[in-house]
A and B are shown apart, each in its own frame.
Chain A
Amino acid sequence: MPDYALMNQLVFEGNQAEVKSLTEGALDEGRDVKEVLEEGLIAGMKVVGEDFKRNKIFVPEVLLAARAMKAGMSVLEPLLTACDGDAQRDVIVMGTVKGDLHDIGKNLVGMMAEGAGFTVVDLGTNTSAEEFIAAVREHDALILGMSALLTTTMVYMKTVVDAVKEQGVDVSVCIGGAPVGPEFCDEIGAHGYAADAASAVQLFKRLVAARNSG
């Protein structure tokens, strides 16, 4: 039995080399790839997310942990892709909106979402409504995540929401970033707002579960 508690701890500490080697070790033991992902890596990132939300750790620690997570994922990725024929991983398309070049927060959400088992298609910064919608269609995404740091660019989120509705795209639109909040989310008709990267992942999961049950 692999020491998943140790793996979780090493993810938390951001120890890329050890996480990678323990992941390989778990597979060598013949453990199921999804078990290793869930119990070894995702469970570790979950603690990272919770501590981040509680202001016990900050952006540097999360970035290091996300890298360790990625090191483990690099081992699992080929196997996951191979066995994913029946169970596609849920896709999130995300980007910083048009006119806005800030991406630290958006990248953090992306890494945490990957850490939670989503496939993330990152469109980078300065993303137009057309680019968002094209990517959602191309990748069959369930979630469209938008970020903005500037009060002047956050209003573009409404342009995207309107375009999504006009074109009848079936996707859950989530927003985040320093200037936006739940009221703004309601005002523009987006489906969800999250205040931080950990809450964002919880929001994605909730929305996906609601879609699957609805």
Chain B
Amino acid sequence: MESALLRALTRGPLLSDGAMGTELQRAGLKPGGCGEAWNLDRREHVLTIQRAYVDAGADCLVTNTFGGSAIMLERHGEEGRARAINTAAVEIAREAGGHKQGFVLGDIGPFGGVMEPFGDIPAARVVEAFGSQAEALCRAGVDAILIETQTSLEELAIGIDAARAAGAPCVIASLAFDALVEAGGFATMMGVHPEVAAAFLVERDVEVLALNCGTGVDIDSAVEIVRTYREVDPRPIMVQPNAGQPELENLQTVYRQTPEEMGGGVARLISAGAGIVGGCCGSTPEHIRAMRDALDALAQS
């Protein structure tokens, strides 16, 4: 059975949304605060942000559950509300979408540590945490599970298995590559290169290969990685670059890539092989609107 999201992808590229974390901070979330808890405590703020993305033309909304695994929530003392937080996130995204035909991507971010044998977190804890998060998201009715900002294949594999076990209609697996200053090229923090990642994801048979975020990775780099993915396999690719690299202006963080610049990168991302484009850190509804315009212009040309 093919998912509605994959069916839509056969008709043309889709636009995903922009950043959630930086938008929550603009709405008053304190640094280090638990943005996922807002799904229950300050629901209207999350809804407003996602509505703005829908209004800007996004086809897909990513749920506000990046740090919604029990391991991440435990850092804020919120693990007891894990299921409710993930369920609410899907409901908010559905509501934000209104009656527009759109897709809700249930977000699973990294658990925030390093697993044994390299680190001190037993794999079984991650299996448990991702398993219950994926189950809550799928029960609430997501169109896909998006496992993102991943840097290790071991953790990613646990996420994929969790999504499958929960019955996800579509699995999107996204890695965060950094530009390698000395060696050139790209790899995740844990040393996974894009071609290795792509081969692994194909072997695991995920429906969509993806990349997001990453240090020193701009649109040009993202285009390069999309091409690498494409060389490995023909299946759909999702890409969510940052709005440039964060810079500091009077001790305030700014992302200098303008909506126009990000919109200007869309055609290259699509021609490199991307099927879903969106934004990561620093991207705003204005960036997404510019990307919408660029996609619409492409469709007409």
Chain B residues whose C-beta falls within 8 Å of the C-beta of A56 in the assembled complex: 183
Please tell me the number of chain A residues within 8 Å of chain B, measured between CB atoms.
33
Q: In the complex the two chains form, is A179's CB within 8 Å of B112's CB?
A: no
B interface, CB within 8 angstroms of A: 22, 25, 30-33, 75, 112-114, 117-119, 152, 180-183, 187-191, 215, 246, 248, 251-253, 281
Chain A residues whose C-beta falls within 8 Å of the C-beta of B113 in the assembled complex: 104
Supply 10 A–B pairs (Cβ within 8 Å), ascending by A.
A54-B182, A58-B189, A59-B118, A59-B189, A60-B152, A64-B117, A64-B118, A104-B114, A154-B248, A178-B215
Q: In the complex the two chains form, is A57's CB within 8 Å of B253's CB?
A: no
Give Cα A178 to B253, complex, Å.
13
Q: Shortest distance in angstroms between A126's beta carbon and chain B's nearest beta carbon?
A: 6
Q: In the complex the two chains form, is B32's CB within 8 Å of A98's CB?
A: yes
Chain A residues whose C-beta falls within 8 Å of the C-beta of B253 in the assembled complex: 151-152, 154-155, 179
Within the complex, which residue of A55, A61, A126 is in contact with B32, where a contact is CB–CB below 8 Å? A126
Give Cα A195 to B181, complex, Å.
10
Chain A residues whose C-beta falls within 8 Å of the C-beta of B215 in the assembled complex: 178
Give Cα A178 to B188, complex, Å.
13
Chain B residues whose C-beta falls within 8 Å of the C-beta of A129 in the assembled complex: none
Give Cα A112 to B148, complex, Å.
29
Chain B residues whose C-beta falls within 8 Å of the C-beta of A102 in the assembled complex: 112
Give Cα A99 to B32, complex, Å.
4
Give Cα A61 to B181, complex, Å.
18
Give Cα A130 to B253, complex, Å.
24
* With known contacts A54-B182, A60-B191, A155–B251 Cβ distance under 8 A: yes
Give Cα A59 to B176, complex, Å.
14
Within the complex, which residue of A63, A152, A178, A184 is in contact with B31, where a contact is CB–CB below 8 Å? A152
* With known contacts A151-B246, A152-B253, A158-B251, A55–B31 Cβ distance under 8 A: no
Q: Which residue of A lies closest to B255 (CB)?
A: A151
Give Cα A104 to B112, complex, Å.
8
Q: In the complex the two chains form, is B251's CB within 8 Å of A58's CB?
A: no
Q: Which residue of B lies closest to A64 (CB)?
A: B118
Decide if A183 is an interface residue (CB 8 Å cutoff): yes
Residues facing B in A61-88 (CB within 8 A) are 61, 63-64
Q: In the complex the two chains form, is B112's CB within 8 Å of A101's CB?
A: yes
Q: In the complex the two chains form, is B248's CB within 8 Å of A183's CB?
A: yes
Within the complex, which residue of B180, B188, B191 is in contact with A61, where a contact is CB–CB below 8 Å? B191
Q: In the complex the two chains form, is B183's CB within 8 Å of A58's CB?
A: no
Q: In the complex the two chains form, is B118's CB within 8 Å of A63's CB?
A: yes
Q: Shortest distance in angstroms between A17's beta carbon and chain B's nearest beta carbon?
A: 13
